Amino acid sequence: MHARGPRDRGWTRRSWLITLIAATRVGAQKRRLWPAERFTYADPATEFLLERLTNPAYASLLPPPHSRALAGKGGFLLFASDRSGSFQLYRMQERTRECEQLTEATSLDPRAFTLTADDRGFCYFDGPTLYRASLGSLKARAIYRVPEGWRRVPGFGLSPDGKYLAIVESRAGRWSLRLIRTGNGDATTLVERPAPIGDPAPGPREQVLYLYEGSLWLASRRLQTHQPLPAPAGRVLQACWSSDGRRVIYLHQPAEKGKLSALREYELRSGVDRLVAPTSQFASFGVNSDESVFLGASGSVASPYVLLLLRVTRRELTLCEHGAGDVTQVRPTFSADSRRIYFQSDRDGKPALYRMNVERLVEPTDSSASGSP
């Protein structure tokens, strides 16, 4: 693992000139408002009330895991949609469900965007360029550009303090995990691999979790270390940091035939790995801000449900059907106060966003922390 300067990352003089020009180009987007399109109905499996927040005639997407979609104090949701004819970012007011278009990007990547940690701005990729924009003025500035000869591949996450983004780039059969400082775009190459790197999750102290060939790895810029984290035989499907940054919570698929996935956690200081709870058939998960309750998207074809799992009892409760074609894209997410859940599904057409109140089922938590993995 090593840090690379501009020249040995593939930059040329022309690349620097393009980036400098882009960085000085600051403009405010014209504000455009879109009316609410919510539809409320009783879930056919549980009869709990559910809201579909967007129209499934066009695609609407939550950001990837380890990115922020919901303001910490509530009030609005950041998402991507092609309702205007091309993918752009929108802010939905939780009270009115009215949407404000935030970008006029030429090639926005709906797999790579996030709110900043202070809820005052957002970051996104438009083509090969990473921008940071203000929610107040909608002015955007370029802070990073993918080096010539490289292409960005899925993998995008924001650190808890908002100071770093982790991205994955590929070239000639090599995959690189980059750590980008959100303030000035300085980039560090943490890891290079001969096979795809997945699901990067920046954590405290400039550490990044990532998946590689079914195993969970931890790279540290500050400590200059890179190591696999021990797990039982099988595959790690998804992982996230605990709220205190001392543990890693992960979804594990055992190697034994017939055994279902389980939630586990690994304590970094002691090296202790323990079972959190077995699951019925979680394929992806979310966790609330105090880690007392988990959301799971079931991978069962017969029971395509969003499930609530209590840590203390290790029992599940079915909330609703997700009916998604790709269960890994459900992205079940808690609001910061644990009163609501959000997820996405293409059950009614193109991917749409859904919301459900769970305040009668889950104790409220501190709204200053986010619970999305």
Q: What is the pLDDT of residues 41-53, one digit of tens each?
A: 999 999 999 999 9
First to last CA, the chain: 25
How far apart CA 30 and CA 279 sit, in angstroms, is 47
Closest residue by Cα to residue 81 from 65, 97, 57: 57
| Residue 150 near residue 162 (C-beta atoms within 8 A) | no
Low-confidence ranges of the chain (pLDDT < 50): 1-26, 369-373
Entry pTM: 0.89
pLDDT in tens, 78-94: 999 999 999 999 999 99
Strand order in the sheet with 293-298: 282-287, 293-298, 305-310, 315-321
Q: Are 72 and 369 in contact (CB under 8 A)?
A: yes
Rounded Cα–Cα distance for residues 287 and 289 (Å):
7
In the chain, where does DSSP find H-type helix?
13-24
Task: Determine the longest span between alpha carbons in the chain, in angstroms.
Answer: 61
CA dist 160 and 245 (Å) reads 9
Q: What's the CATH fold of domain 32-61+230-373?
A: Methylamine Dehydrogenase; Chain H (2.130.10)
Predicted confidence at residue 224, as pLDDT, reads 86
* Cα separation, 321 vs 46, whole angstroms: 8
pLDDT score at 223: 83
Dihedral sign of CA atoms 365, 248, 69, 350 in order: negative
Output phi, psi for 16, to 5 deg.
-65, -40
pLDDT of residue 367: 62
The strand pairing partners of 215, in sequence order, are: 212
- Predicted confidence at residue 263, as pLDDT, reads 98
Residue type, 190: L
Domain boundaries, the chain: 1-30+67-228, 32-61+230-373
Q: Do domains 1-30+67-228 and 32-61+230-373 have the same CATH topology?
A: yes
pLDDT of residue 31: 74
Topology given in CATH for the domain delimited by 1-30+67-228: Methylamine Dehydrogenase; Chain H (2.130.10)
